[in-house]
Structure 1
Amino acid sequence: MNFLSLKSLAVGAVALLAVNTASAEVLRVGMECTYAPFNYRTADGELTGYDVDVAKGVAEIIGADLEFVCQQWDGMIPALLANKFDLIVASMSITDARMEKIDFSSPYRDSVGRLIGKVDGDLNLFDDNGDPISANFDGLRVGLERASTYENWFNAKLPGAEIVLYDGSEPLYLDLKNGRVDLIMTNPMKAQLRFLDKEDGSGFAFASPAISEVEYFGVGVGIGLRQGQDELRDRLSAAIRELINNGSMTEYALKIFPFPIHNPEWGTM
Structure 2
Amino acid sequence: MIDGYGFDKTYHNRAMKVLDFLANYYWRMDVEGIENIPDDGGAMIVMNHAGTIALDVLMIKQAIFRRSKAKRIAWALMADFLTWTPFVGDIYWRTANVLATWDNAERLLKDDQIIIVCPEGTKGVGKHFTRRYQLESFGTGGFARLAIHTQKPVIPTSVVGSEEIYPVVYKNQKLGELLGFPFLPLTFTFPLLGLLGALPLPSKWKIKFDKPIYPSSYEKKGTIEEKALEQQTRFIETLYPCDEKKKMIAAAPREKAIVNDVVKIIKRNINALRNQRKTIFF
Q: TM-score, normalised by structure 2?
A: 0.29
Point out the structure with the larger strand share: 1
| Larger Cα-atom Rg | 1
With normalisation by structure 1, the TM-score equals 0.30
